[in-house]
Structure 1
Amino acid sequence: MHEIGLAEAILEAVEKRAAGRPVRRAKIRAGALLRVVEPSMDLAFQMVTEGTIAEGAAIDMVVTPARLSCRSCGHEAGTLDPLAVCPACGDGDVQMTGGDELVLESIEIAEARDVPGNTRGDRGDSFRST
Protein backbone atom coordinates (compact mmCIF):
# COMPACT_ATOMS: atom_id res chain seq x y z
CA MET A 1 0.00 0.00 0.00
CA HIS A 2 2.01 2.98 -1.29
CA GLU A 3 -0.54 5.34 0.24
CA ILE A 4 1.32 5.15 3.57
CA GLY A 5 4.40 6.80 2.07
CA LEU A 6 2.21 9.44 0.44
CA ALA A 7 0.33 10.01 3.72
CA GLU A 8 3.64 10.52 5.55
CA ALA A 9 4.63 13.18 3.01
CA ILE A 10 1.25 14.87 3.40
CA LEU A 11 1.55 14.82 7.18
CA GLU A 12 4.97 16.46 6.98
CA ALA A 13 3.54 19.29 4.86
CA VAL A 14 0.50 19.61 7.17
CA GLU A 15 2.71 19.90 10.24
CA LYS A 16 4.80 22.64 8.61
CA ARG A 17 1.73 24.67 7.69
CA ALA A 18 -0.05 24.14 10.99
CA ALA A 19 2.92 25.32 13.08
CA GLY A 20 1.84 23.32 16.13
CA ARG A 21 -1.88 24.11 15.90
CA PRO A 22 -4.30 21.15 15.83
CA VAL A 23 -5.62 20.28 12.37
CA ARG A 24 -9.18 19.23 11.61
CA ARG A 25 -9.02 18.67 7.84
CA ALA A 26 -6.54 18.55 4.95
CA LYS A 27 -7.37 18.88 1.26
CA ILE A 28 -5.04 17.28 -1.29
CA ARG A 29 -4.84 17.03 -5.06
CA ALA A 30 -3.44 13.74 -6.38
CA GLY A 31 -2.67 13.01 -10.01
CA ALA A 32 -4.35 10.01 -11.65
CA LEU A 33 -1.01 8.38 -12.46
CA LEU A 34 -0.25 8.03 -8.74
CA ARG A 35 -3.07 5.47 -8.65
CA VAL A 36 -4.17 6.54 -5.19
CA VAL A 37 -7.25 4.76 -3.89
CA GLU A 38 -9.28 7.10 -1.68
CA PRO A 39 -10.33 4.58 1.02
CA SER A 40 -6.71 3.41 1.29
CA MET A 41 -5.50 7.01 1.53
CA ASP A 42 -8.04 7.71 4.30
CA LEU A 43 -6.82 4.68 6.26
CA ALA A 44 -3.13 5.47 5.69
CA PHE A 45 -3.62 9.10 6.78
CA GLN A 46 -5.40 8.00 9.96
CA MET A 47 -2.57 5.57 10.72
CA VAL A 48 0.30 8.04 10.23
CA THR A 49 -1.40 10.90 12.07
CA GLU A 50 -1.89 9.00 15.34
CA GLY A 51 -0.31 11.01 18.14
CA THR A 52 0.26 14.09 15.95
CA ILE A 53 -1.44 17.47 15.62
CA ALA A 54 -3.47 15.96 12.76
CA GLU A 55 -4.79 12.97 14.69
CA GLY A 56 -8.44 12.45 13.78
CA ALA A 57 -8.28 14.93 10.90
CA ALA A 58 -10.24 14.17 7.75
CA ILE A 59 -8.55 14.15 4.38
CA ASP A 60 -10.34 15.34 1.25
CA MET A 61 -8.84 14.16 -2.01
CA VAL A 62 -9.39 15.37 -5.55
CA VAL A 63 -7.91 13.26 -8.36
CA THR A 64 -6.62 15.25 -11.33
CA PRO A 65 -6.36 13.79 -14.82
CA ALA A 66 -3.24 13.10 -16.82
CA ARG A 67 -2.91 14.45 -20.36
CA LEU A 68 -2.99 11.82 -23.11
CA SER A 69 -1.44 12.52 -26.54
CA CYS A 70 -1.86 9.93 -29.29
CA ARG A 71 1.26 9.42 -31.38
CA SER A 72 -0.79 7.86 -34.21
CA CYS A 73 -3.59 10.37 -34.80
CA GLY A 74 -2.50 13.36 -32.70
CA HIS A 75 -5.65 13.38 -30.54
CA GLU A 76 -5.24 14.91 -27.07
CA ALA A 77 -7.46 14.34 -24.07
CA GLY A 78 -7.50 14.20 -20.30
CA THR A 79 -7.77 10.80 -18.64
CA LEU A 80 -8.02 9.31 -15.17
CA ASP A 81 -6.99 5.88 -16.52
CA PRO A 82 -3.23 5.28 -16.34
CA LEU A 83 -3.61 2.49 -18.92
CA ALA A 84 -5.73 4.49 -21.37
CA VAL A 85 -5.73 4.09 -25.12
CA CYS A 86 -6.58 6.86 -27.56
CA PRO A 87 -10.33 7.54 -27.32
CA ALA A 88 -10.35 8.74 -30.95
CA CYS A 89 -8.59 5.90 -32.81
CA GLY A 90 -8.15 3.20 -30.16
CA ASP A 91 -4.36 3.03 -30.59
CA GLY A 92 -2.27 2.24 -27.52
CA ASP A 93 0.71 4.32 -28.67
CA VAL A 94 0.00 7.27 -26.39
CA GLN A 95 2.14 9.57 -24.29
CA MET A 96 0.95 10.54 -20.82
CA THR A 97 2.00 13.81 -19.20
CA GLY A 98 1.10 15.29 -15.84
CA GLY A 99 -1.12 13.37 -13.48
CA ASP A 100 1.74 12.58 -11.11
CA GLU A 101 1.40 15.51 -8.71
CA LEU A 102 0.62 15.36 -5.00
CA VAL A 103 -0.30 18.79 -3.64
CA LEU A 104 -1.49 19.86 -0.22
CA GLU A 105 -4.05 22.51 -1.16
CA SER A 106 -5.29 23.59 2.26
CA ILE A 107 -5.66 22.71 5.90
CA GLU A 108 -8.37 23.56 8.39
CA ILE A 109 -7.20 24.44 11.87
CA ALA A 110 -9.38 23.33 14.80
CA GLU A 111 -11.03 26.07 16.80
CA ALA A 112 -9.61 26.60 20.27
CA ARG A 113 -12.91 25.46 21.82
CA ASP A 114 -12.56 22.15 19.95
CA VAL A 115 -9.09 21.44 21.30
CA PRO A 116 -9.03 18.82 24.07
CA GLY A 117 -8.00 20.40 27.37
CA ASN A 118 -9.14 23.92 26.44
CA THR A 119 -11.33 24.82 29.40
CA ARG A 120 -11.52 28.52 28.57
CA GLY A 121 -14.03 27.96 25.78
CA ASP A 122 -12.53 30.78 23.75
CA ARG A 123 -13.13 30.77 20.04
CA GLY A 124 -9.52 31.16 18.95
CA ASP A 125 -9.13 31.02 15.18
CA SER A 126 -12.57 30.13 13.83
CA PHE A 127 -11.12 28.91 10.54
CA ARG A 128 -7.75 29.31 9.03
CA SER A 129 -6.72 27.91 5.70
CA THR A 130 -3.10 28.11 4.67
Structure 2
Amino acid sequence: MHEFGIAEAILIAVEKRADGRRVRRARVHAGALLRVTEPGINQAFSSISGGSVAEDAHVELVIVPVRMTCRSCGSTSTSVEPFAVCAGCGDTDIDTEGGDDLLLESIQMAEASHVPGNSRRDRGNPVGPS
Protein backbone atom coordinates (compact mmCIF):
# COMPACT_ATOMS: atom_id res chain seq x y z
CA MET A 1 0.00 0.00 0.00
CA HIS A 2 1.83 3.13 -1.21
CA GLU A 3 -0.37 5.35 0.99
CA PHE A 4 1.87 4.53 3.97
CA GLY A 5 4.90 6.19 2.38
CA ILE A 6 2.83 9.26 1.52
CA ALA A 7 1.29 9.31 5.02
CA GLU A 8 4.79 9.19 6.56
CA ALA A 9 5.87 12.18 4.46
CA ILE A 10 2.76 14.08 5.57
CA LEU A 11 3.38 13.21 9.23
CA ILE A 12 6.98 14.45 9.06
CA ALA A 13 5.84 17.77 7.57
CA VAL A 14 2.99 18.09 10.11
CA GLU A 15 5.29 17.45 13.06
CA LYS A 16 7.78 20.07 11.85
CA ARG A 17 5.09 22.70 11.42
CA ALA A 18 3.25 21.83 14.66
CA ASP A 19 6.40 22.34 16.76
CA GLY A 20 5.14 20.07 19.55
CA ARG A 21 1.53 21.33 19.55
CA ARG A 22 -1.39 18.89 19.08
CA VAL A 23 -2.87 18.80 15.59
CA ARG A 24 -6.51 18.22 14.75
CA ARG A 25 -6.46 18.47 10.94
CA ALA A 26 -4.03 18.71 8.04
CA ARG A 27 -4.95 19.96 4.56
CA VAL A 28 -2.79 18.36 1.86
CA HIS A 29 -2.62 18.87 -1.90
CA ALA A 30 -1.79 15.62 -3.69
CA GLY A 31 -1.29 15.22 -7.42
CA ALA A 32 -3.67 12.98 -9.34
CA LEU A 33 -0.80 10.74 -10.44
CA LEU A 34 -0.16 9.74 -6.80
CA ARG A 35 -3.49 7.89 -6.97
CA VAL A 36 -4.48 8.42 -3.35
CA THR A 37 -7.93 8.79 -1.86
CA GLU A 38 -8.94 10.58 1.31
CA PRO A 39 -10.20 7.41 3.04
CA GLY A 40 -7.03 5.52 2.08
CA ILE A 41 -4.64 8.25 3.21
CA ASN A 42 -6.56 8.70 6.48
CA GLN A 43 -6.40 4.98 7.22
CA ALA A 44 -2.63 4.96 6.63
CA PHE A 45 -2.14 8.23 8.54
CA SER A 46 -4.10 6.90 11.51
CA SER A 47 -1.95 3.76 11.56
CA ILE A 48 1.36 5.63 11.69
CA SER A 49 0.49 8.74 13.73
CA GLY A 50 -0.29 7.02 17.04
CA GLY A 51 1.66 8.63 19.88
CA SER A 52 2.55 11.69 17.79
CA VAL A 53 1.22 15.26 17.91
CA ALA A 54 -1.06 14.24 15.03
CA GLU A 55 -2.67 11.26 16.73
CA ASP A 56 -6.39 11.22 15.82
CA ALA A 57 -5.86 14.04 13.28
CA HIS A 58 -7.81 14.01 10.01
CA VAL A 59 -6.14 14.57 6.64
CA GLU A 60 -8.22 16.65 4.23
CA LEU A 61 -7.07 15.77 0.73
CA VAL A 62 -7.24 18.11 -2.26
CA ILE A 63 -6.45 16.37 -5.55
CA VAL A 64 -4.31 18.48 -7.90
CA PRO A 65 -5.06 17.79 -11.58
CA VAL A 66 -2.47 16.61 -14.04
CA ARG A 67 -1.97 18.68 -17.21
CA MET A 68 -2.18 16.61 -20.38
CA THR A 69 -1.05 17.39 -23.92
CA CYS A 70 -2.15 15.05 -26.68
CA ARG A 71 0.62 14.01 -29.07
CA SER A 72 -1.93 13.28 -31.81
CA CYS A 73 -4.03 16.45 -31.94
CA GLY A 74 -2.07 18.86 -29.69
CA SER A 75 -5.04 19.50 -27.41
CA THR A 76 -4.28 20.37 -23.78
CA SER A 77 -6.49 19.68 -20.79
CA THR A 78 -6.37 18.82 -17.10
CA SER A 79 -7.75 15.83 -15.25
CA VAL A 80 -7.93 14.50 -11.73
CA GLU A 81 -8.07 10.98 -13.15
CA PRO A 82 -4.60 9.39 -13.34
CA PHE A 83 -5.47 7.33 -16.44
CA ALA A 84 -7.25 9.84 -18.66
CA VAL A 85 -7.55 10.12 -22.42
CA CYS A 86 -7.39 13.22 -24.63
CA ALA A 87 -10.51 15.32 -24.22
CA GLY A 88 -10.21 16.46 -27.85
CA CYS A 89 -9.77 13.23 -29.81
CA GLY A 90 -9.94 10.40 -27.27
CA ASP A 91 -6.37 9.22 -27.95
CA THR A 92 -4.25 7.78 -25.15
CA ASP A 93 -0.90 9.04 -26.54
CA ILE A 94 -0.51 11.96 -24.15
CA ASP A 95 2.27 13.77 -22.31
CA THR A 96 1.63 14.68 -18.70
CA GLU A 97 2.92 17.56 -16.63
CA GLY A 98 2.61 17.82 -12.85
CA GLY A 99 0.18 15.64 -10.98
CA ASP A 100 2.83 14.18 -8.68
CA ASP A 101 2.88 17.03 -6.15
CA LEU A 102 2.55 16.56 -2.41
CA LEU A 103 2.14 19.76 -0.43
CA LEU A 104 1.10 20.36 3.16
CA GLU A 105 -1.10 23.45 2.81
CA SER A 106 -2.14 23.97 6.41
CA ILE A 107 -2.69 22.39 9.78
CA GLN A 108 -5.32 23.10 12.40
CA MET A 109 -4.19 22.91 16.00
CA ALA A 110 -6.25 21.34 18.73
CA GLU A 111 -7.60 24.02 21.04
CA ALA A 112 -5.81 24.52 24.31
CA SER A 113 -7.87 23.83 27.42
CA HIS A 114 -6.43 26.84 29.27
CA VAL A 115 -4.64 29.91 28.01
CA PRO A 116 -3.38 32.22 30.76
CA GLY A 117 -4.12 35.92 30.53
CA ASN A 118 -7.00 37.98 29.23
CA SER A 119 -7.38 37.19 25.54
CA ARG A 120 -9.03 40.57 24.86
CA ARG A 121 -6.31 42.67 26.50
CA ASP A 122 -3.27 40.42 26.44
CA ARG A 123 -0.57 41.95 24.24
CA GLY A 124 1.90 39.16 24.91
CA ASN A 125 3.61 40.88 27.84
CA PRO A 126 2.66 39.18 31.11
CA VAL A 127 4.46 41.83 33.23
CA GLY A 128 1.99 44.00 35.15
CA PRO A 129 2.31 47.69 36.02
CA SER A 130 5.57 48.68 37.69
* TM-score, normalised with respect to structure 1: 0.86
Cα deviation for residue 123 of structure 1 reads 7.1
Q: CA RMSD in A?
A: 1.6
Which residue number in structure 1 is paired with residue 109 of structure 2? 109
Residue matched to 1:4: 4
Q: Does the 8 A contact of 2:67 with 2:76 survive in 1?
A: yes
Give the C-alpha shift of residue 84 in structure 1: 1.3
Flag the structure with larger Rg: 2
Query: Shift of residue 112 of structure 1?
Result: 1.3
The percent of aligned pairs where both chains have the same amino acid is 55
Q: State the partner residue of 2:51.
A: 51
Q: Which moved more, 1:6-15 or 1:82-91?
A: 82-91
Relative to structure 1, is the Cα distance of residues 93 and 123 closer, same or farther in structure 2, using a 3 angstrom cutoff? farther
CA distance in 2, matches of 1:33, 1:110: 32
Match of 2:83 in 1: 83
Structure 2 unmatched ranges of 5 or more = 120-130
Residue 72 of structure 1 deviates from its aligned partner by 0.9
| Letter paired with 1:73 | C
**Inter-partner Cα distance in structure 2 for 1:71 and 1:81:** 18
Letter in 2 for 1:61: L
Contact 1:15-1:53 at 8 Å conserved across structures: yes
The separation in 1 between residues aligned to 2:66 and 2:116, in whole angstroms, is 42
Alpha-carbon distance in structure 2 between the residues aligned to 1:20 and 1:96: 39
**What is the aligned partner in structure 1 of residue 25 from structure 2?**
25
Shift of 1:39: 0.9
Q: Distance in 2 between matches of 1:22 and 1:85?
A: 43
Q: Distance in 2 between matches of 1:93 and 1:123?
A: 62
Residues 53-94 of structure 1, C-alpha deviations (whole Å, 9 max, x = no match)? 110111101001000100111100001122211111111111
Distance 2:92 2:22 in 1: 47
C-alpha separation in 2, matches of 1:93 and 1:11: 36
Contact 2:38 2:61 in 1 (8 A): yes
- How many residues of Structure 1 are paired with residues of Structure 2 in the alignment? 118
Q: Deviations over 1:103-130 (max 9, x none)?
A: 00001111211xxxxxxx3379x9xxxx
Alpha-carbon deviation of 1:20?
0.6
